[in-house]
Copies of this chain bind each other. A is one copy, B any other.
Amino acid sequence: MLSGLSAFPLTPVGDGGVDEKAFAKLMERLVSAKVDSIGVLGSTGSYAYLRREERARVAKLAVEHANGIPVMIGIGAISTRDVLELAKDAQKCGASAVLLAPVSYQKLTAGEVYGLYESVCKTLSIPLCVYDNPGTTHFEFSDDLHARIAQLPNVKSIKIPGVPPALADARSRVDRLREKIPSDVSIGVSGDAFAATGLNAGCDAWYSVIGGLLPDTCLAISRAAQAGNADEATQLSARLEPLWALFRQHGSLRVVSAIAEELGLVSAQNLPLPVRALRYEDRVLVRRTVSDLELTT
């Protein structure tokens, strides 16, 4: 299930909480485009800023609008107690899978992170994707820890933070991890700029930020790579370099939020404070990039 293009939509958040109408519109774009799965309440979905009730509500809305496309729900939180409640809520809402990052405040040990996944797997009846994102969790997985966690029942995918830029290096990175994990655990690449390389290097899935907003653009890259047209996938991705540059400069969340506003899909205030929208001068460049690259679907 956790293969192909997994699209991660924004959860637009305004003064009054989640903008459910805007969220539903974003979901509909993904359903029309026929992405392979939808990753709701990922980092792009601002899960870490929302309350339990809001997260349950967004999960429910997502499943209702998904038209049968599998929905994976982010259940990360700083405390294990909260993660367990969120896992229960996600299952009750009809999620097809859950996504779990070791969100941390105190720096965690490998044993503590293993313990977290072990506790959650005991309560799950659906697949879990391990979310390896040192940029937000500040926890670095070793491949040995991935291997141990991947043995747990329910663990069916690993979302890795990126791959080296050269294809050969990317291939050996993916192979090295693949050797250590059961064959039914898929590997998905994130860091959108690395996606074509990751897929060409043998990743099964692309867990995509921009895919949550521009699914057709990303499906073209995914389908090319899946069909073995590595060069085409690479070229389609290279064409988006001005977008990747913006991601590197401002973080993908703020850029995707600005593009969504540019496309009239969300209101001006759509990010959860303290995170703020890009400033005027940065938005000008986003607008130009959207127009130059014809980023619409």
The interface of chain A, by Cβ under 8 A from chain B, is 43, 48-50, 78-81, 102-103, 105-109, 111-113, 115-116, 119, 135-136, 138, 251, 253, 272-276, 279
- Cα separation A119 to B109 with both chains bound (whole Å): 35
The residue of chain B having its C-beta at the shortest distance from the C-beta of A84 within the complex is B273
Q: Return A151 CB to nearest CB of chain B, in Å.
A: 19
Contact B253 A106 (CB under 8 A): yes
Q: Return A50 CB to nearest CB of chain B, in Å.
A: 8
Given contacts A43-B105, A106-B251, A251-B106, A48 and B272 within 8 Å (CB-CB): no
The 6 closest A-B pairs by CB, nearest first: A48-B105, A80-B273, A49-B79, A116-B274, A112-B274, A80-B274
The residue of chain B having its C-beta at the shortest distance from the C-beta of A278 within the complex is B109
> What are some 27 contacts across the A-B interface (CB < 8 A)?
A43-B106, A48-B78, A48-B105, A49-B78, A49-B79, A49-B105, A79-B272, A80-B272, A80-B273, A80-B274, A102-B274, A103-B105, A105-B136, A106-B136, A106-B251, A106-B253, A106-B275, A107-B135, A107-B251, A108-B274, A111-B276, A111-B279, A112-B274, A112-B276, A113-B274, A116-B273, A116-B274
The residue of chain B having its C-beta at the shortest distance from the C-beta of A119 within the complex is B273
The residue of chain B having its C-beta at the shortest distance from the C-beta of A103 within the complex is B105
A119 / chain B contacts, CB cutoff of 8 Å: 273
A279 / chain B contacts, CB cutoff of 8 Å: 111
- Cα separation A92 to B53 with both chains bound (whole Å): 25
The residue of chain B having its C-beta at the shortest distance from the C-beta of A17 within the complex is B81
Contact B79 A115 (CB under 8 A): no
A116 / chain B contacts, CB cutoff of 8 Å: 273-274
A108 / chain B contacts, CB cutoff of 8 Å: 274-275
- Cα separation A274 to B78 with both chains bound (whole Å): 8
The residue of chain B having its C-beta at the shortest distance from the C-beta of A78 within the complex is B48
- Cα separation A105 to B77 with both chains bound (whole Å): 10
- Cα separation A253 to B50 with both chains bound (whole Å): 27
Q: Return A271 CB to nearest CB of chain B, in Å.
A: 9
Q: Return A155 CB to nearest CB of chain B, in Å.
A: 16
- Cα separation A43 to B104 with both chains bound (whole Å): 12
- Cα separation A50 to B77 with both chains bound (whole Å): 11
